Structures are given as C-alpha cells and as structure tokens.
Structure 1
Amino acid sequence: MATCSHLLLALVVVAAAVDSTAAFDQDHTPFKPIPDLSVPRIQELGRWAVQQHNDQTGDRLTFTRVNGGQFQIVAPALNYLLDIDATNVHGTASTHTALIFVQYWTNTQRLDSFN
C-alpha cells in the first residue's frame, strides 16, 4: 500500500510540473527579430542600456547604435535582446548584448544583463 501511495504522489508531482511548464510556455513567446532597428524607441533603449551599464559598473562606454536585436513577449511585458555598438574612452569599438525587460503600462524598464 505504501508503494502505491508513493507512486500516486510521484504522478501528482509530475502532473503539476507538466502543468506549470505549459502555463509558462503560454506566457512567453520565442524571441523574434526586431523588424526595424531604426525605430527611435529601439535606439533609445540601446542608449539607456549603455547608460545603466555605465552607472552600475563605472565603465565609460559611449553608445553608437543598436545593430541587431530580438524581442520576446513575456505577458504582460516585453524582453528585448539588443546587440549594441559602443566605444570606450580610448575610442575602441565593441559590441555588447543587453537584455532589457520593459513593461510599458507601468513605465518600467530594467537592465537584466549587459555583456
């Protein structure tokens, strides 16, 4: 009887895990390419990400442009994965990847990573 109870408990745990994974997938879409990187809002997000990175690390990068990017719907917000060109104080160019969480209806922006 104890073995049957353990088996039943294991099945309930697996079913709950599968159900929670399905709910997660419904709230998150795959990343998709940003169709037009020249949109001012995308360039502003890139500039903001560089400034946030500088404030957090003490680096002194200068934003050049967003040269690539993707977005993901994370209900009820968006994640942006941006490829950002910047230069350091010596004029050396580099490309960085920033993950930015944006929730427009609460006016929330958060830099989740910058590499």
Structure 2
Amino acid sequence: MKIFGLLVVMAAAFAVAYPIATSAQLSWYPIGDPMNEPHVQELGAWAVAEHVKQVHDGIKFSKVVSGEEQSDAGVKYHLIIEALNSGGEQGRYEAILIEEVRSYTRTLISFSPAK
C-alpha cells in the first residue's frame, strides 16, 4: 500500500512539473498558400457543406483565402473562407475544424461570419 501511495505522489509531482499541453497552449502555424493547396480548399468546401447541413442557409463555397493550423491529436484548422450567401453576395466566414487523419474523421467546431 505504501508503494501505491508513493506512486500517486510521484504521478502528481510529474503532472505539475510537466503539464500536458492543451490546444489553447499550442501554437498556430500559417498555411503558406491556401489558395494553391487542394487539401485546404477541400477542407473549406467541406466546412461550408457541413455548416449548410446544420443550419440550411444555402451558403455556397468559393475559396479558402487564408488559414492556420495546429497539430495535436489531429490537425486543427482555422480557415477564412469566401462564400456566397443565399442572396448571392460574397462574404467571408471563419471556420474551425479538426481533421483526424488516422480515423478519417472531420469535426466542424465553429462556423461564423469573419470579423
């Protein structure tokens, strides 16, 4: 029992000395030339389609104009997307999504008009 207690104390000390990085602590890295990156454009089109599935507002994807990424348990993307709204007017939208390469899954975290 004493060994178990010692292990708990050691684990707690290790956790304080070496905290696990959260996504808030990870650095964002710019995507070099998103307009010429087919995968980034595909992600932008997917984000718009996923948003439309959720809210049915008829936005139509045009292109990803800028973005940044961070790696953790997958790749998290912050994209600025140009799209046409239901009235046919061009607008900019901000999308945050995670792509998990191993499981072939994508999750849209947020989608909103860009500020």
TM-score (norm 2): 0.77
Report the CA distance between 1:90 and its aligned residue. Answer: 1.6
Aligned residues: 99
**Residues 87-112 of structure 1: CA distance to partner in whole angstroms, max 9, x if unpaired?**
01221111000001011011010000
Report the CA distance between 1:23 and its aligned residue. Answer: 1.1
TM-score (norm 1): 0.77
SS in 1 for 2:21: helix
Distance of aligned partners of 1:68 and 1:20 in 2 relative to their CA distance in 1, 3 Å threshold: farther
Report the CA distance between 1:45 and its aligned residue. Answer: 0.3
Identity of aligned residues (%): 32
Which structure shows the higher helix fraction? 1
The residue aligned with 1:72 is 70
Distance of aligned partners of 1:63 and 1:29 in 2 relative to their CA distance in 1, 3 Å threshold: same
**Residues 20-68 of structure 1: CA distance to partner in whole angstroms, max 9, x if unpaired?**
8821259x63011001211100000000000000000011000000001
**Structure 1: 5+ residue runs without aligned partners?**
1-11
In structure 1, what is the Cα distance between the partners aligned to 2:16 and 2:80? 34
- Tell me the C-alpha RMSD between the 2 structures: 2.3
**Structure 2: 5+ residue runs without aligned partners?**
1-8
Deviating beyond 4 angstroms after TM superposition, the runs of 4 or more aligned structure 1 residues are none
Q: Which amino acid aligns with 1:93?
A: Q
